[in-house]
Amino acid sequence: MILVWLLIVLIVGGLAALAAGSWSANASRWVSILTFLIGLAIGLYLWVTHADAVTVAQTGGWIVRFKVPWIPRFGIDFQLGLDGLSLMLIMLSLFLGLVSVITSWSEIREQVGFFHFNLVWTLAGTLGVFMALDLFLFFAFWEAMLVPMYFLIALWGHENRRYAANKFFLFTFGSGLLMLVAIIALATIHFADTGTLTFDYFALLGTKMSATAAAFTMLGFFLAFAVKLPAVPFHTWLPDAHTEAPTAGSVILAGVLLKTGAYGLYRFAVPLFPEAAMNFAPIAMTLAVISILYGGIVAFGQSDLKRLVAYTSVSHLGFVLLAVYASNVLALQGGVLVMMAHGITTGALFMLVGALQERTHTREMSRMGGLWPHLPRMAGIGMFFAIAALGLPGLSNFVGELMSLLGTFRASMGFASAAALGLIVAVIYSLYWMQRVFQGPTGTQIEVAGLSDFGARELGTMAAMVIITIWIGVYPQPIIDILDPALTGMRETITVTMMSEG
């Protein structure tokens, strides 16, 4: 029942933020902060009380589960579950929700209550995605989270916000419909084999079907998740959405919504169709390597700083796609750590870009330059997250990408070697934007006299993100411990299913 309460807290919190907005803007902000703090407290409680990996392993990796009938006639249940994988992503989501409220404090001035309503409900939808263990319920949450995100971009975005919001919605909603067709196909095949109509995740694991049916059904799931991740060539909606979204929208989009695509690959695309997924692995890993290299190279070619950061997401999350289809526990653990690291570092970079745009009224790097003496705190923090993003040892991105590559090396030396070139590209584009923005002569179109550096509110937020980045880089073991039962159980399920089918 605690999982239901977690959803209720966010749903009620969003409504309360909307109502508080009619009273005062700050009231809406504080209600949103309180909502996310309560959610984080629940998450920390679950983490601390289930930190013993042995105990979690005895329950198949599941920390807590909840199930009640929803639409019995069609075998649909309201079923939620939490294991180490979903817990880590929920904690990341709630933390970035809190960060988003703080970073939008001075940026959002109109319809503040409605803004925070959409922000909180977007996170409520993503938490539902991370917890749903009924495939129909999963689809319902998957589509529900898109609507408030659409409004965040369309109402509070920048110049071309409507175009970007429509493109975001069409890509993600359309690919979601493909997944719905695949879900119905899977349930129908299971019904034909067993006589039981169900959308229960555990019941559908190991469903017997022909190789052709498995390949096409798996592809429906893969396309939906690859669009959301996003992987090349399904990524074209992402730069526009990031560029036009408000800062909080970019933080949530990069840090949370993209992770729903990665989570779907972990939870559904591979475990439900293990043999078809392994046959598809060379194609998926090829797309992963292309995404890593293409995303980094195109990022280097951008003049708009926000688009540059957006394209780096394509590159970084290529390591997650690679890890999923390398399909060993080391790679899977590395992929989750990449997700966590990317959420923090890229979220921080979008906050930095938003702060720069608010002060300089531009995102064009050609109009910046020489800002370090005038904005030393912003520059120092920017340098920290730039070197974190390029994979400096001792910081979060390094450990995740290293584990992903080592796990991939066990599966394919060629794919691992090609993907490792992405680390070199990351160094180039990270140092490139730092030099363009903060070094050299000051941009002639910027009035430096009136620029204000990070204040206490922004410094406090960034300090928390710096601490998390160092913690994951230096001591990731607590996260690995809570992940291990879930990922080991996932890998064992795939192995057993493939053996039974063989």
* pLDDT tens-digit map of 343-381: 999 999 999 999 998 888 888 888 888 888 888 999 999
pTM of the model: 0.94
- Please give the helix or strand (H or E) that residue 80 lies within, else none: strand 76-83
- Please give the residue that has the higher pLDDT: either 111 or 51: 111
SS3 at position 83: strand
Q: Where is average pLDDT lowest: 60-69, 318-327, 470-479?
A: 60-69
Going by the DSSP 8-state scheme, the letter that residue 321 receives in this structure is H
Q: What 3-state DSSP class applies to 498? A: helix
CA distance 389 to 384: 9
Average pLDDT of the residues of the chain: 91
Provide mean pLDDT across the span 25-35.
95
Taking only the tens place, the pLDDT of each residue in 212-262 is: 999 999 999 999 999 999 999 999 999 999 889 999 999 999 999 999 999
- Using left for φ > 0, alpha for ψ between -120 and 50, and beta otherwise, residue 46 falls in alpha
Confidence of residue 500 (pLDDT cuts 50, 70, 90): low
